[in-house]
A and B are shown apart, each in its own frame.
Chain A
Amino acid sequence: MTEIFGVPTQALFGQLLIGLINGSFYALLSLGLAVIFGLLNIINFTHGAQYMMGAFVAYLLANKAGVGYWWALAIVPVVVGATGIVIERLMLAKLYKLDHLYGLLLTFGLALIIQGLFRNEYGTSGLPYAMPSELSGGRNLGFMFLPNYRAWVIVASLAICIGTWFVIERTKLGSYLRAATENPALVQAFGINVPRMITLTYGFGVALAALAGVMAAPIYQVSPQMGADLIIVVFAVVVIGGMGSILGSILTGFGLGIIEGLTKVFYPEASNTVIFVIMAIVLMIKPAGLFGAQK
């Protein structure tokens, strides 16, 4: 068997693939956090719970209504995004004039409620979600075996990330959004409904998390805790990348996923902590984050 640095290539590429998959989810989730933070100045602690909700709604659609994966991809973000809009209108909207920390505390409380409710209903053990039949199986690339579904996740999340970047950086809607991030009062004076834009932005960020949840459902087990630890890693990813740039958070997400995968090959004991260690190093060298600007 061929080896690189004393590691079988099969294992190396296998972990690299897992790293890329994890990186896809880091990128999707940190992208949503960054979009929400840009306009609302709130760190959405509920993001992990909303990702979990995405997976659960897909699971329930499949098991109660017989709605398959492809429809779930379209329906789930809308449903979960709508709950996000309700949360924004009823609660978050009351906090914009206060210290930003209250937004963090509120969303933390909401995450506890949502995760607790799901745990009451479905217990802590993971529920299986079937892979869509079109994407079962895989192909042999010669140096490794690539399951089709995993390839799809990487391609789809890249497409979503780039699509989001395009909308925000290259379209008229995106220019309104960026302008409102800079100076909401002035944009409102030009006749643009900023409060509605804020609401929709939050809904969009939540929908992104839910979409990530649907894509994650066939890979990881669907469980109430699936987002709780993930969101802390994503926070570290956000600190490393800085939330200033959309492309930055995408690159950081994928990059850190790959680094984590490589750590699993070469020094497995550190694979849980490597991202946090990188965060500590980045804080020492470049406190604003790799792509952030110090205010």
Chain B
Amino acid sequence: MPKSQKIALAVMTAFFLLAPLVLYPVFLMKAMCFALFACAFNLLIGFGGLLSFGHAMFLGTAGYACAHAAKVWGFPPEFAILFGTAMAALLSFVTGLLAIRRQGIYFAMVTLALAQMIYFYYLQAPFTGGEDGIQAVPRGILFGVLNLSNVWAMYGMVFVIFMGGFLLVYRVIHSPFGQVLKAIRENEPRALSLGYDVNRYKLLAYAISGTLAGLAGATKALVFQLASLTDVHWSMSGEVVLMTLLGGLGTVFGPVVGAFIIITLETYLAQLGAWVTIVQGVIFVICVLTFRRGVVGELGNWLRKPL
């Protein structure tokens, strides 16, 4: 890990350890869940060059599965999260098989359409509770000792999950697998001619990304004790694109910064109603037209260091 990234990692760790002294823990837990979601998404677009417009399906599926397992089956939190993540993994594998058959813009449209299909399914399926969602999900007792209804215990668990997920994404990006992925992004035919089974790499990247997005969704369901249709809706898929774009596509820390900014905006603009959507749209347009490197990308470019 280059020195600049070590410093950034230390800053980020210190921030999430110290911030709850000043900021609301629930707000920070939300930010960490979305940061992990955005990191998972960034793995696919930033390093695999695949723009998924349907990542909400993993967030929402894992949320529903985790909430159902914890509430109806009485799973302890660790197994509920694991079950939710496993369901997202399964879904990402199946949808991945279909989606990687098309490239570029079509890939985005296919993932969007598949996610919309999943959305309509959850809208009608009896176990999701329709418009109400699954409410009052018990947080339970972690490993049989740690009562998660204590906000600090919960915070600790979310922090560990977020850091674990973040470091895993970092590991994947900097592994030989990640290098091949970048090669495919840059020039797919050449990667193919070098003998790499391109589709297998893409599918694996898609599945890892979907699984980690699921981990974020399952954790989020326990934080808010709620799984609802919002998390499966296409606007959520758009939101994660926005977070990653604003933070910096293909940077290591960008998605975390982007998620934090967007969650802050939403929290403070919540009373403005429809203006939230408009502000999001404006950020999209500004980012695409003049700010394509994103916050962290610009910073890294200015410092001439990878971030």
A interface with B by C-beta (< 8 Å) = 37, 41, 43, 91, 94-95, 98, 100-102, 104-106, 108-117, 119-120, 229, 232-233, 235-236, 238-239, 269, 272-273, 276-277, 279-280, 283-284, 287
Other A-B pairs beyond A119-B274, A279-B113, 18, CB < 8 Å = A95-B288, A100-B104, A102-B292, A106-B289, A109-B288, A110-B281, A110-B285, A113-B282, A116-B275, A117-B278, A120-B274, A232-B113, A233-B113, A273-B120, A276-B113, A276-B114, A283-B102, A284-B98
Interface presence of B108 (CB below 8 A): yes
Q: Cα distance A280–B282 when bound, in Å?
A: 33
Give 29 pairs: A residue, B residue, CB < 8 Å, sorted on A. A43-B105, A43-B108, A91-B289, A98-B292, A100-B104, A102-B288, A105-B284, A105-B288, A108-B241, A108-B284, A111-B281, A112-B238, A112-B280, A113-B285, A116-B278, A117-B278, A120-B274, A232-B116, A235-B109, A235-B112, A269-B124, A272-B123, A272-B124, A273-B117, A276-B120, A277-B117, A279-B110, A280-B117, A283-B101
Shortest Cβ distance from A281 into chain B, in angstroms? 9
* Contact of A112 with B277 in the complex, beta carbons under 8 Å: yes
Interface presence of B152 (CB below 8 A): no
Interface presence of B224 (CB below 8 A): no
Q: Cα distance A276–B112 when bound, in Å?
A: 10
The chain B residue sitting closest to A37, CB to CB, is B105
Size band of the B side of the interface?
Answer: 35 or more
* Contact of B98 with A283 in the complex, beta carbons under 8 Å: yes
Neighbour of A100 across the interface among B53, B99, B105, CB < 8 A:
B105
Known pairs A94-B289, A102-B292; A272 contacts B120 (CB<8 A): yes
* Contact of A112 with B278 in the complex, beta carbons under 8 Å: yes
Contacts of B116 in A (CB 8 A): 229, 232-233, 236, 276
* Contact of A287 with B102 in the complex, beta carbons under 8 Å: yes
B interface with A by C-beta (< 8 Å) = 51, 53, 98-99, 101-102, 104-106, 108-110, 112-114, 116-117, 120-121, 123-124, 234, 238, 241, 245, 273-278, 280-285, 287-289, 292
Shortest Cβ distance from A99 into chain B, in angstroms? 8
Contacts of A276 in B (CB 8 A): 113-114, 116-117, 120
Cβ-closest 9 pairs across A and B: A109-B284, A112-B281, A113-B281, A276-B117, A116-B278, A116-B277, A287-B101, A236-B113, A272-B120
Contacts of A104 in B (CB 8 A): 51, 53, 105, 108
Contacts of A239 in B (CB 8 A): 102, 106, 109-110, 113
Interface majority SS (helix, strand, loop, mixed), chain A = helix
Known pairs A104-B51, A273-B120; A283 contacts B112 (CB<8 A): no
Neighbour of A238 across the interface among B109, B281, B282, B288, CB < 8 A:
B109
Contacts of B102 in A (CB 8 A): 239, 283, 287
Q: Which residue, of A109, A235, A272, has the highest number of chain B Cβ atoms within 10 A?
A: A109
* Contact of A115 with B277 in the complex, beta carbons under 8 Å: yes
* Contact of A116 with B274 in the complex, beta carbons under 8 Å: yes
Q: Cα distance A276–B284 when bound, in Å?
A: 27
Contacts of B278 in A (CB 8 A): 112-113, 116-117, 120
Contacts of A112 in B (CB 8 A): 238, 277-278, 280-281, 284
Contacts of B280 in A (CB 8 A): 109, 112
Q: Cα distance A233–B99 when bound, in Å?
A: 16
Contacts of A232 in B (CB 8 A): 112-113, 116, 234
Contacts of B273 in A (CB 8 A): 120
The chain A residue sitting closest to B98, CB to CB, is A283
Contacts of A287 in B (CB 8 A): 101-102
Contacts of B276 in A (CB 8 A): 116
Shortest Cβ distance from B113 into chain A, in angstroms? 4
Q: Cα distance A100–B109 when bound, in Å?
A: 13
Q: Which residue, of A104, A105, A236, has the highest number of chain B Cβ atoms within 10 A?
A: A105
Shortest Cβ distance from A121 into chain B, in angstroms? 9
Known pairs A112-B277, A232-B234; A280 contacts B109 (CB<8 A): no
* Contact of A273 with B121 in the complex, beta carbons under 8 Å: yes
Contacts of B123 in A (CB 8 A): 272
Contacts of B287 in A (CB 8 A): 105, 109
* Contact of A119 with B113 in the complex, beta carbons under 8 Å: no
Q: Cα distance A273–B119 when bound, in Å?
A: 9
Neighbour of B283 across the interface among A43, A109, A280, CB < 8 A:
A109
Contacts of B121 in A (CB 8 A): 273
Q: Cα distance A123–B121 when bound, in Å?
A: 27
Contacts of A98 in B (CB 8 A): 292
Contacts of B288 in A (CB 8 A): 95, 102, 105-106, 109
* Contact of A101 with B234 in the complex, beta carbons under 8 Å: no
Shortest Cβ distance from B184 into chain A, in angstroms? 15
Contacts of A283 in B (CB 8 A): 98-99, 101-102, 110
